[in-house]
Structure 1
Amino acid sequence: MTKLSVMLLAATAILSACGSNNNNNGNANTGDKTAASNAPSAAAADTKKEVSFTIGYAAGDPATKQAIANTVKAFMAANPNVKIKDLSETTSAAYLDWLKTKDAVGEFPDLVEMRDTEVFADAGKIVELPTDLLDLFDNPPQVEGKVWNAPLSVNVPQGIIYSKKAYSDAGITELPKTYDEFLAIQEKLKSGGITPLVVGGKDIFHMGFWVNKFLIDDVYSKDPDWNSKRTAKTVSFTDANVVQAMTDFKDLFKNYVDKGWLSTGDNQTASILVSGKAAQLYSGTWMFSQIKEADPNFDFGFYAIPDREGKVNVIGLPSPAGWSLSAEAAKDADKTQAIKDFIRYFFAPEQYSPYLASVNAIPSTKEKVTYETGEQMKIALDLIADPNVTKSLAINNWWGDNQIPPQFRNWYYKLLQDLVVNDEDVASYMKQADTEYDAQVKANQQ
């Protein structure tokens, strides 16, 4: 195990690593001053007015759901006058659609994990982050010149999580230096009788892992403003770089992905990997704890897949996402104060450290947080720290002029599912993407 101290400075992860022989069980070194000092004590809470609020967050990843639920439970134990009702999303539907449904039935959460910040800010559903919480973070991303979120963590890179035994059995002794070498590894695994890749395609968000790997390699790593140009119709999904990216996506799925990918849930992928039914999973660092929970003895590695030229490009830029206060809740002073107390409690090192450790995340706080992590997370942190690694965002995580129509992501991912399942022509499907994109842009402007 390696003990890593990680701190976000000016929206860039500044990472330091040091050896550790002690056993602190992931507890943070809190120092003399922490965010927890601003949280109310249980004794003080006894005299406070009773207040309740609802909380909503994406629950597609079991580790994150459990980590947040644990913090909610601990906060209520420390503050018995506050009751928090958990409204976390529990279906395979897209999180954006779930939030819109909650809003339609009058159940929009008081405190909500916001991912489509600009959409809900423009609709007047959320308010700016209270100014007395801004000191917890260092230069969080702004939308329209305002900070709307308390970022849960910094975006982490995604990559190949692989069975070391499967690689050894297939005679794979070196990690790939180019995408073509990665494909050669897939052939070796396939020839050895094991399914190379498991994909949780039943959950639409999971499709984005592979889709964005190729989009980042061929599009965003070279042109971060591609989305705004697509909106302006100066670039097209039918352009050679996008067609190449989606051709690589289709070919990979047709040749190396488990045939049951469309009916496999994201929460099934860890067990499929550790059981030996598949050799690899492409996902994020939050999967590490799930894999260890599924089989503590499973020996696995992690790496980012290089592009054809050997460059490494990963998700890693900050984006405006995190805890946001609803406009309705902001009208209630007692509720607002309770929510602010919860946010400070959440990001206090005593609670934030176990949260980060359970989901293998990078802290967003200004204050340093220390936690225990393994070799796989060390590789992910090195990727973020490496200036030679290009950092980008997924298609739907850009904002401002680069924001895409909010419903386009899910439509596009489903289009690509059909592309693979029906073995259709990539170029013709990309024409459909252009048509739909323009239609959604026009609809949003009306």
Structure 2
Amino acid sequence: MQKKTMTKLSVLLLAATTVLSACGSNNNNSKAGNTGGNTAASQSPDAAATDAKKEVSFSIGYAAGDPATKKAIAATVEAFMKVSPNVKIKDISETTSSAYLDWLKTKDAVGEFPDLVEMRDTEVFADAGKIVELPSDLLELFKDPPQVKGKVWNAPMSVNVPQGIIYSKKAYADAGITELPKTYDEFITIQDKLKTSGITPIVVGGKDIFHMGFWVNKFLIDDVYTKDPDWNSKRTAKTVSFTDPNVVQAMTDFKDLFTNYVDKGWLSTGDNQTASILVSGKAAQLFSGTWMFSQIKEADPNFEFGFYAVPDREGKVNVIGLPSPAGWSLSAEAAKDAGKTQAIKDFIRFFFAPEQYAAYLASINAIPSTKEKVIYETGEQMQAALDLIADPNVTKSLAINNWWGDNLIPPQFRNWYYKLLQDLVVKNGDVAGYMKQADTEYDAQVKANAQ
């Protein structure tokens, strides 16, 4: 069973600049650059030995649906190869709007499963024997990484960050909105004011199926997971149902929001288009994660925006924020090659070296997962997100597909469910009827996976 403890951060204030620190420390205090200080790769005796050996190569696969993350990882790969000239990394990042799980399964089917892979569906691929445990000498980098079946399979790239409303301050001011909402009903009132002012309230990148999960899980967390974190396991055991009043309420709110306040072109809008739509003034708000902050600033450095979590009807704030087993994983095939394994371990140490890791975190506004202190500058929006994580009155949860152990859902169900909800909105369907379909499909997938 997954741990339900809240991730704690310490936030340091240096002069007038807000910086972020992960708690704990170890003996790795090097710089990640190629000047003066040691890199993570050069600190390792094994890395030095690797430099003297023949050329080694490995492939790396990761989800590229978010442009900022793709850019940050690509930059790290390039920096590593500069300090490790004998190592060649083949970048095979996912670049389609297909679900990442489906992309990985396709790569596996054609014999191109990455040697080092960003793993999100850890239990699925661990059970299939496609990945191995994280090498024991890398465990020292992290503090209490989540375990699946008593084993650590991932080097967590960061800690799960809250998702919330990224809003145009100008649009709010033009609509006469002077206070942030304290309840969900007040949030809806804001949507009506924005609509009346002549601007589309919300942009959604529904062309990318993963983007659908942002709003879907906001409502599931409010009405389902905050009250019962073990709901998934009970659904598998058939003791709860998608047709139960709490789920129907959550999906009714989802449908109503999309019907009344979301840009009509949401189904053909890509996630990578949402930042430009927001800054152009075509929409007032975007519901997403902190990784969008840098994209918005890149699209328009002068665009003024804020960030907040949408409260539930009772005025409680619930966000994604629990740890989950995800991150860099070593493929079982690559683990058979000692040279390749060592090169991958060197890359992982380089990735998490303080200076290099700080650059990665800053570029996507992420929260560090390492024991080693990592400091980088944060802005007003990221500080709001950090305050949510640090606030003991804010309930932390996970998305429907991020639970594990007994709460693991069938691996293909998430995408099927998100598409079902797209259909619900487009066809103005009956929520209760669609939830019956969800029950039927869920049970069928559980049965199929058990065979």
**Structure 2 Cα separation of the partners of residues 21 and 15 of structure 1:** 17
Residues 45, 80 of structure 1: 8 Å contact kept: no
Q: 1:79 aligns with which of 84, 98, 114?
A: 84
The question of 1:286 aligning with 2:291 is answered yes
Structure 1 residue 444 displacement after superposition? 0.2
* 1:266 aligns to 2:261 (yes or no): no
- Give the Cα separation in 2 of the matches to 1:218 and 1:152: 29
Query: Contact conserved, 1:164 with 1:301, CA < 8 A, in 2?
Result: yes
Residue 228 (structure 1) shift:
0.2
User: Aligned partners of 2:383 and 2:12: how far apart in 1?
Assistant: 9
Are the structure 2 counterparts of residues 251 and 21 from structure 1 closer, same or farther at C-alpha, using a change threshold of 3 Å? closer
What amino acid sits opposite 2:237 in the alignment?
Answer: A
Helix, strand or coil at the partner of 2:402 = coil
* Alpha-carbon distance between aligned partners in 2 of 1:366 and 1:211, rounded to the nearest angstrom: 33
Ranges in structure 2 where 5+ consecutive residues have no aligned partner:
33-37
1:12 paired to 2:7:
yes
Displacement of 1:368: 1.0
Q: Matches of 1:58 and 1:152 in 2, distance apart?
A: 12
Cα displacement string for residues 387-407 of structure 1 (whole angstroms, at most 9, x for unaligned residues) = 000000000000000000000
Q: Are 1:249 and 2:244 an aligned pair?
A: no
> Whole-Å Cα distance in 2 between the matches of residues 31 and 120 of structure 1?
31
For 2:119, the equivalent position in structure 1 comes to 114
Give the counterpart letter for 1:281 in structure 2. L
C-alpha contact (below 8 Å) 1:11/1:139 kept by paired residues: no
Deviations for 1:322-368, whole angstroms, at most 9, x for unmatched residues?
00000000000000000000000000011100000000000000111
Change (3 A) 1:169 1:138: same
Q: Is residue 332 from structure 1 mapped to residue 337 from structure 2 by the alignment? A: yes
Paired position in structure 2 for 1:5: none
Task: Quote the Cα distance in structure 2 between the aligned partners of 1:31 and 1:117.
Answer: 27
1:212-251 equivalences under 5 Å are 212-251=217-256
1:173-192: per-residue Cα shift (whole Å, max 9, x none)?
A: 00000000000000000000
Structure 1 unaligned spans of 5+:
1-9
Runs of 4+ in 1 over 3 A off after TM superposition: 19-24, 30-33, 35-38, 41-46
- Given that 1:11 and 1:138 are in contact with CA atoms closer than 8 Å, whether structure 2 keeps it comes out as no
Q: 1:11-58: CA deviations, max 9, x gaps?
A: 72322230335899x9xxx99733766523798665222100000000
* Structure 2 counterpart of 1:325, one-letter code: L
CA distance in 2, matches of 1:356, 1:172: 32
2:210 corresponds to which letter in structure 1?
Answer: F
Maintained 8 Å contact 1:319/1:398: yes
Q: Which residue of 2 aligns with 1:6?
A: none
What is the match of residue 130 of structure 1?
135
Q: Could you report, residue by residue, the CA deviation over 1:62-84 in whole angstroms, capped at 9, with x for unpaired residues? A: 00000000000000000000000
**Equivalent position of 1:3 in the other structure:** none
Change (3 A) 1:82 1:188: same
Shift of 1:161: 0.2
Aligned to 2:42: 40
SS at match of 2:399: coil
Q: What is the CA–CA distance in structure 2 between the aligned matches of 1:237 and 1:347, rounded to whole Å?
A: 41
CA distance in 1, matches of 2:51, 2:142: 30
Amino acid in structure 1 at the alignment position of 2:242: F
* 1:225 CA displacement: 0.2
| Aligned match of 1:7 | none
Question: Tell me, what secondary structure is at the counterpart of 1:13?
Answer: coil
Question: Would the aligned equivalents of 1:419 and 1:426 in 2 still touch at CA under 8 Å?
Answer: yes
Name the aligned partner's letter for residue 431 of structure 1: K
Contact in 2 for aligned 1:227/1:404 (Cα 8 Å): yes
Q: What corresponds to 1:406 in structure 2?
A: 411
* Cα deviation digits, residues 94-146 of structure 1 (max 9, x gap): 00000000000000000000000000000000000000000000110000000
- Of 349, 356, 360, 2:361 maps to 356
The residue correspondences of 1:51-70 to structure 2 (distance < 5 A) are: 51-70=56-75
Query: TM-score, normalised to structure 2's length?
Result: 0.93
**Is the contact between residue 11 and residue 140 of structure 1 (CA under 8 Å) also seen in structure 2?**
no
CA RMSD in angstroms comes to 1.8
